[in-house]
Chains A and B, each alone.
Chain A
Amino acid sequence: MLKNFIALMIILFAGPVYAIDGSSLLKEVDRNLSPESYESYRKLINIEPDGRKKEFTLFTVKKGTDKVVSLFLAPASEKGRSTLRLGDNMWLYIPNVGKPVRITSLQSVVGGVFNNADILQLDYSAEYNVEKVEEKGNEILLHLKAKTKTVAYDRLKIWADKGKKLPVKIECLTEANMLIKTLYFKEVKEFGGGIVRPAVVETDSPLYKGYKSVMIFAKLKKRDFKDEVFTLTFMPNIESLR
């Protein structure tokens, strides 16, 4: 009788025995990175192997899971350009050309290591399914697989801080697990309104040896927008949202 009781206690209190729900965790990571609808300012810096830099400043607004638009504020050569993403559709508007043209997620409107999918980032949970979850000390490793072929990277490996539920490092891979680029999330800071996230995202790529690109976030805040803002016709008017 006593043996049975001890065995029952061991089973009940041995643990903790639980499985991490990868999908819920990914959604939590998404919400910790940004509210579902927000506005933000970003600086993109492309750094060449000799240390030369080229900088771009962007104003970005996002709504829901599939709508995001960015407006270039600087440098002067790019000012007024805007990029719109509506699900799998992406467009680029150049003021001199005067009309939006379709672009693809793998192209880069700024050159360097960041491509359009990085600049017009949707929620990870909107584009990826969690295939596997691993615990690695203070971090959780999420193995993600793209939901459709139209997503820029077939696979992602996200190393997330177990406590903060924020990404620390993301590897972007092809279907054959070839590394395309690595994103490093740094300098967690408070943006106000309860938003605490990394302010700096660095990236490098074996395809661009010696090159590095950096994205710095500022003035990230929750804001709601009408759906009409995320349309081709509105693209020349993004500046009016600031």
Chain B
Amino acid sequence: MTEKLIITWFFVICLMLNAHFVEATEEYSFDVSETEKKSYHIGGYIEFRPAVFSLDKEASLYKLKFYNREEGGTFEEYNAKFQLESSLEKGIAKLFIKTNTDYKENYLGEDQKTTIYEGFLSLKPSSSLSIDIGKKTLRWGKGYAWNPVAFIDRPKDPEDPELGLEGFIVASADYIKSFEGPLKTISFTPVLIPVYEHVNDTFGDINKLNFAGKLYLLLYDTDIDFMILTGGSRTTRYGMDFSRNITPNLEIHGEFAFINNYKKMFINSTGGISETEYNAYSYLAGMRYLTEKDTTYIFEYYRNDTGFTSREMRDYFTFINSAYDAYLSTGSDLQIKKALKITEAGYGRINPMRDYLYLRISQKEPFDILYFTPSITWIYNINDKSSALSPELLYTGITDLELRLKATLLAGQRLSEYGEKQNDSRIEFRARYYF
């Protein structure tokens, strides 16, 4: 009797709760408890990404990496990533932390690294003002593949520009003011970047307090930014960018950066290292176009004035080849180690040369397959006519699961950027689950 009573009451309470929390409709329901705000949040994603590389044994970067070991024609790599985001909010204050753990298993064995990508305290005394202190990314610039004005960001990978990046420790603020008329918004973002031992020491020269600032305007329906970075860790630089819809389906954007007294270190074909100093003018011009059939074209031209010329790159590759020959004939890897050092110092960065084109064509939901997006990306090095072509298939039809199959085919003559990469092609599968 008592049991039945308890069950009945339980049933009634459940019904009442259901009636209270569920906005019931004829066929659909909206549980409004989903909309209740919590003071904390934990989320992120976990990803598994196996890849197979087809090696180019004649390539300089293959020789540099595999000079003392024998690999087959291909090698496999198993990557996993765990990105965790958590936040705690109380009143005007919010604490946010984002960590990234990368796991890799390949011919070198296992490797694992956990990095705090972001971790900062944010104070929002009003909708016009916010103050952030801690490690964060700022992601300046309007370009999709490259951002010459991203003065205080780590470089993004144009082959995967939407990947999260590690930030720097900064103190920053955003002040926003809105208006009626052609000038709709002004916002100002001052940033302090301390660079000391163990604090942002990869940013540039240490024992300096750097200042950066960004002024944003929404003027005549055009986004315009002006930026500055000064303080000594890096040479002073100025930038501007813009983005505007010419028609509802056509957006154009651009960036311009002036870098004062840029210092570039380069190596000649016999291993002699020199340094040159000059004012660098880098810029980017791009567009994004959406057709009536939901095909998106993203096209960009990037002039990287801090990059190496074709001759400088040829000298670098020639030196690696000589160092490898010397290793084979003498067994000494001194020259190889020198080449590795200079690779880390600049030649090894993503897209190290001067003029590039980027084209990405993606087709949303072809053949009425919902959540399916095939695309193809082409990066072309204008200086040495080498290129990377990446077709990919993306499917997001299962809630919180993203599946991507991507291949990359590299083409280029000897002593060219993509012609000298360690592999000719790569195929990878990525399964990412969000929680």
Contact = CB atoms under 8 A, between A and B. Distances in A.
B248 A232 contact: no
Given A74-B34, A75-B399, A199-B23, A231 B245 contact: no
Nearest to B290: A104
Interface stretch (A15-23, A30-38, A208-216): A208-216
A227 to B, nearest CB: 3
B245 A88 contact: yes
B370 A111 contact: yes
B127 A226 contact: yes
Interface string A135-149: 000000000000001
Contact of B245 (A89, A187, A209): A89
Contacts of B35: 41, 57, 59, 73, 218-219
Interface string A46-75: 101000101101010000000000000111
A79 B43 contact: yes
11 contacts: A43-B28, A88-B221, A88-B248, A102-B251, A104-B248, A106-B248, A219-B35, A226-B126, A231-B185, A237-B130, A242-B37
Interface stretch (B50-58, B173-181, B420-428): B173-181
Contacts of B177: 228
Interface in B83-101: 85, 89, 94
Interface in A205-242: 208-209, 211, 214, 216, 218-219, 225-234, 237, 239-242
A200 B251 contact: no
B43 A112 contact: no
Contacts of B370: 46, 48, 111-112, 211
A89 B32 contact: no
A102 B245 contact: yes
A157 B39 CA distance: 44
B290 A214 contact: no
Contacts of B161: 97
Nearest to B138: A98
Given A105-B248, A208-B368, A240-B94, A45 B28 contact: yes
A112 B77 CA distance: 36
A237 B163 contact: no
B32 A218 contact: yes
Nearest to A214: B28
Contact of B216 (A209, A233, A242): A233
Interface of A: 41, 43, 45-46, 48, 52, 54-55, 57, 59, 73-77, 79, 86-89, 94-99, 101-102, 104-108, 111-112, 149-150, 152, 186-187, 199-200, 208-209, 211, 214, 216, 218-219, 225-234, 237, 239-242
A223 to B, nearest CB: 13
A9 to B, nearest CB: 50
A104 B144 CA distance: 16
B213 to A, nearest CB: 13
Nearest to B140: A99
Contacts of A214: 28
B176 A240 contact: no
B162 interface: yes
Contact of B176 (A208, A216, A233, A239): A233
A152 B294 CA distance: 14
Contact of B396 (A77, A106, A239): A77
A53 B128 CA distance: 39
B104 interface: no
A233 B25 contact: no
B221 A218 contact: no
A230 B34 CA distance: 24
A4 to B, nearest CB: 59
B245 A57 contact: no
B306 interface: no
A231 B34 contact: no
B8 interface: no
Contacts of A79: 43, 434
Interface string B123-159: 0101110100000011111001000000000000000
Contacts of A54: 371, 397, 399
B249 interface: yes
Given A106-B248, A216-B25, A233-B185, A43 B128 contact: no
Interface string B13-43: 0000000000101101110101101000001
Given A55-B399, A73-B34, A104-B290, 13 more contacts: A75-B399, A86-B184, A97-B139, A97-B162, A101-B243, A104-B248, A107-B294, A152-B248, A211-B370, A228-B178, A237-B124, A241-B127, A242-B37
A89 B137 CA distance: 25
Interface in B345-403: 364-365, 368, 370-371, 396-397, 399-402
B223 interface: yes
Nearest to A96: B164
Contacts of A240: 89, 94, 124
A233 B245 contact: no
A232 B137 contact: no
B144 to A, nearest CB: 8
A45 B34 CA distance: 15
A152 to B, nearest CB: 8
A228 B248 CA distance: 24
B124 A187 contact: no
